[in-house]
Amino acid sequence: MNLLLPGMYFAADTVLHRLDPRVKMGAATVLMMLPFAARHPLGHLLTVGLVGAAVLLSRAPWRALLGTLRTVFWLGFFMFFFYFFTTPGRPLVALGGVTVTLEGVLAGALQVYRLCLLAVIAALLTYTTSPLQLTHGLEAMLSPLARLGFPAREMGMVMTISLRFVPTFFEEIETLSRAQKARGVDLSSGPPWQRIRNTVPVLVPLFLSAIRRAEDLAVAMEARGFRSQPHRTRLYRLTLTRADAIAALIVLACGGVGIAL
């Protein structure tokens, strides 16, 4: 496969990679709340410092992080101008009927800052945690709900299976578009509606193969005696280490201070 998507897992051996997925997901949640909950500038400074430290620890390539920010560029752009023009306050400049206010500029900047932090935190989580670990952690966090009848284990299974097939489908799309190109379809040029119509020869076989795969997988799982109901044990179990405890403490402490300030 030739593509590197923003937010794709980046295999490495750093402190962040080794942390328990449950701790990382909890920490990400706390860090994502901070830029909204903090009122004092020092709280924001603390948040940025913490995220910055995490970025350095993760050794994630800068190019990849910038790619993540690019995905939220347009959203940030519109949010900024929305606040820019609609917040009442002290007028700065009047641009033909619309007044730009100082409060507007500040509010817009605040929204963009929050959005960027959210994107970076989410990317950090997926850079340092493999999809398998993520689902494993999510399943573990949801398992208390299983007693209330929530199908936590089944959810985990569904997530694991769907993630497993993402690269397979990318490869299949690649092969199918080459095969149809060899039959004379030009997938990358022509008027827009023509291009949309040209996706049919790729999408129909893709769906067909997805359905066939799902059937085969279901039969294969049954044939091997897979059942979701009885308690299943795992080869690798999640265990909390000292590093996990320290990381959790740091994030919680910073979160507490950030909100209290």
Q: Which residues bind another protein (CB under 8 A)?
A: 1-2, 4, 11, 175-176, 178-185, 200-201, 204-205, 208-209
Could you give the maximum distance between any two Cα atoms of the chain, in Å? 72
Q: How far is the CB of 183 from another protein (least distance, A)?
A: 4
Q: Which residues pair with 6 in a beta bridge?
A: none
Which residue's CB is nearer to another protein, number 63 or number 237? 63
Closer residue to another protein in complex, CB, 179/217: 179
Supply the minimum distance, in Å, between the C-beta of residue 172 and another protein. 9
Give the separation between CA 135 and CA 234, rounded to whole angstroms.
13
Nearer to another protein, 157 or 185 (CB): 185
Beta-carbon-side half-sphere exposure of residue 114 (alpha carbons within 13 Å): 17
Q: Which is nearer to another protein, 121 or 123 (CB)?
A: 123
Dist CA 132 CA 162 (whole Å): 11
CB of 1 to another protein, least distance (A): 6
How far apart (Å, rounded) are the C-alpha atoms in residues 153 and 155?
5
**Smallest distance, Å, CB 182 to another protein?**
4
CB of residue 56 vs another protein: minimum separation in angstroms? 21
Q: Specify the residue, 40 or 212, whose C-beta has the smaller distance to another protein.
A: 212
Residues 6+ apart with CB under 8 A from 104: 83, 84, 85, 86, 87, 89
Contact 255, 38 (CB under 8 A): no
Alpha helices (runs of H) in 59-98, residue ranges in sequence order: 62-71, 73-86
